[in-house]
Chains A and B, each alone.
Chain A
Amino acid sequence: MRAAYAIFRKDLLLEMRGKEIVVTLTVFSFLVLTVFSFSTVPGSPAPREMAPGILWITFLFAGILGLGRAFDRERENGCFTGLLLAPCDRMQVYWGKCLSTLVFLLVFQAILWPIFCILYGYNPVRGIGTAWAGIILGDIGFVSLGVVLSAVTIHARGRETILPLLLLPLCLPVLVGGVRVITLALDGGAGAEALTWIGRLAAFDVIFFVLGSVLFPLVVEE
């Protein structure tokens, strides 16, 4: 785990210095949520009904933006090659990148959560435990897939287009599960159905993470 931790710390240091990823994602997501909130007829129930979906679509697109930024740093000066040359199992590179990307997503989502609740008229504390269980588990699934696919496309021409094309269809289970958990949480908190969806998200996470750990060392081979 030594190499994974070193990569995680390095990414945190770079982000604390530049604040590039978290600020970009927060501003982007704030704009998307605001535009959506003003795009419906005033007084109609539509925004509230659509809110969990809007939130997760925002998370996914912001997440893709974040992955792109995180791997741009590795592309510069060939730093990704430097990681792959390290005398460690390349799974550790994957784990390190997953962990740092996950932390960046959670930080921007924590900033965004109260803004989302205010814009769409929800109590930010109601069902917060269930909602955040869904967000964290959804993020883990998204990051597990996203890091592998970012590594695949790191040197590809048009990677900004290729990455979402590959990632979004694979993330559908995360999107569906995440939206269901947020909907149930905002409607009243924990319940049997919410727990079922949380369980499904956790199962997706295990599959995606194990698959990612196995595939990453293979896809980064030149």
Chain B
Amino acid sequence: METFLRAEGLVKRYGHIHALRGIDLQVDRGESLVLLGPNGAGKSTLLGVLAGRVRPTEGQVILQGEILAKSTLARSETGYLAHSSLLYPGLTARENLLFYGKLYGVEDSAERSDEMLHFMGLWDRRDDRIGGFSRGMEQRVSIARCLLHDPQLILLDEPFSGLDYQSSRTFAQALQQLRDGHRTLVVATHDMAAVEDLGDKVIIMNRGRILHHGTVTVDTPGSIRDLYTKVIPGVKQ
């Protein structure tokens, strides 16, 4: 399989705090990788680096053979769902998507925005301002924003946070649809169920280091929770 994303020796320091301590990883095209770890493990920082939002102190990210820091093209291939929605509360759902469509240079951004609003089940609320949306609905618009430019690499930071059970399942199904063998997913989550639903590979991180890197089907035939509690010190079953 073709290597799509490679991180080499990623270190990120904020002053004396080491957020990442030498991360190496490789993801093939079409694969999905789930990042697990407790709060402060470095998952969000790692996603930030992979998205080109955070500059690593050391190391580099190579996306489709191009060094991420030097390439705006690589950013156009990346969809990033952050902790925050990145949406303007004063704009409607459709206006937000139209804006991001233009920002990302999406051809026919109006048509694509409408398509995404239908896909996320938000068509009826397209002309309502984001400021009046529930957290779950805002998250769905945010997901539409993330997928708007049809990225080949999708980075999701806690995508299920704030979603009720139904929305969470709907979103998990939507993600399954995106796993078409071409798109590559990297998901940081606390949701253990998501690993078995979404992950081809799993990485368990703690304190900026990778403690376990494996294939979901081989390494975790039973419960991912068992593996997690073994790998992360101090976690009780």
| Chain A positions near chain B (C-beta within 8 angstroms) | 2-3, 5-7, 9-10, 13-14, 17-18, 73, 76-79, 81-89, 221-222
- A18: chain B residues at CB < 8 Å are 90
B91 at interface by CB-CB < 8 Å: yes
Whether B87 is near chain A, meaning CB under 8 Å from some CB there, is yes
| B99 nearest in chain A by CB position | A10
B88 in contact with A85 (CB, 8 Å):
no
Q: A17-B90, A76-B89, A222-B55 are in contact. Are A85 and B102 (CB under 8 A)?
A: no
In the complex, chain B residues whose CB is within 8 Å of the CB of A84: 53
Q: Determine the chain B residues whose CB is within 8 A of the CB of A85 once the complex forms.
A: 51-53, 75, 78, 80, 86
Question: What are the residues of chain B within 8 A of A2 when measuring CB–CB?
Answer: 102-103, 105
Secondary structure class of chain A's binding surface, majority of residues? helix
Residues of chain A contacted by B83 (CB below 8 angstroms): 78
B residues in contact with A79, CB < 8 Å: 86-88
Cross-chain contact B90 with A73 (CB below 8 angstroms)? yes
Alpha-carbon distance between A7 and B99 when the two chains are bound, in angstroms: 8
Verify B82–A13 contact, CB threshold 8 A.
no
Is residue B211 within 8 Å, beta carbon to beta carbon, of the partner chain? no
Set of chain A residues within 8 Å of B73, measured between Cβ atoms: 87
Contact A77 B102 (CB under 8 A): no
Instruction: Kindly provide the distance from the CB of A3 to the nearest chain B CB, expressed in whole angstroms.
Output: 5
* A81 and B84 contacting across the interface, CB-CB below 8 Å: yes
Does A10 contact B54, Cβ atoms closer than 8 Å? no
Residues of B in contact, count (CB < 8 Å): 32
| Chain A positions within 8 Å of B145 at CB level | 82
Instruction: Provide the bound-state CA to CA distance between A213 and B156, in Å.
Output: 31
With A87-B76, A87-B104, A222-B53 as known contacts, state yes or no: A10 contacts B84, CB within 8 Å: no
Pair B90/A78 contact, Cβ less than 8 Å: no
The reply to whether B100 and A87 contact each other, CB–CB distance below 8 Å, is no
The listed residue with most B CB atoms (<10 A of its CB), out of A2, A3, A77, A86, is A77
Q: Are A14 and B91 in contact (CB under 8 A)?
A: yes
Further pairs besides A17-B90, A79-B86, A88-B103: 13, Cβ < 8 Å? A3-B102, A6-B99, A6-B103, A9-B102, A73-B88, A76-B88, A76-B89, A77-B87, A81-B82, A81-B86, A82-B87, A84-B53, A85-B53
Which residues of B sit under 8 angstroms from A9, Cβ to Cβ? 99, 102
Shortest CB-to-CB span from B119 to chain A, Å, is: 20
Nearest 6 CB-CB pairings of A with B: A78-B84, A87-B76, A82-B86, A6-B102, A87-B75, A86-B103
Give the docked Cα–Cα distance between A85 and B130 (Å). Answer: 20
B52, B78, B88, B130: the one contacting A10 at CB < 8 Å is B88
On whether the beta carbons of B90 and A14 are closer than 8 Å, the reply is yes
For B55, give its contact among A17, A81, A86, A221 (CB under 8 Å). A221
> How far apart are the CA atoms of A77 and B75 in the complex, in Å?
20
Residues of A within 8 A of B104 (CB): 86-87
Q: Given that A6-B99, A87-B75 are known contacts, is A78 also in contact with B91, CB under 8 Å in the complex?
A: no
B82 and A78 within 8 A (CB): yes
Task: Determine which of A77, A88, A221, A222 lies in contact with B86 in the assembled complex, contact meaning CB atoms within 8 Å.
Answer: A77
Contacting residues, chain A, for B22 (C-beta < 8 A): none
Interface residue? B85 (CB, 8 A): yes
Give the docked Cα–Cα distance between A18 and B129 (Å).
12
Q: Which residues of B contact A13 (CB under 8 A)?
A: 91, 95
B72 nearest CB neighbor, chain A only: A87
Q: B48 at the A/B interface (Cβ < 8 Å)?
A: yes
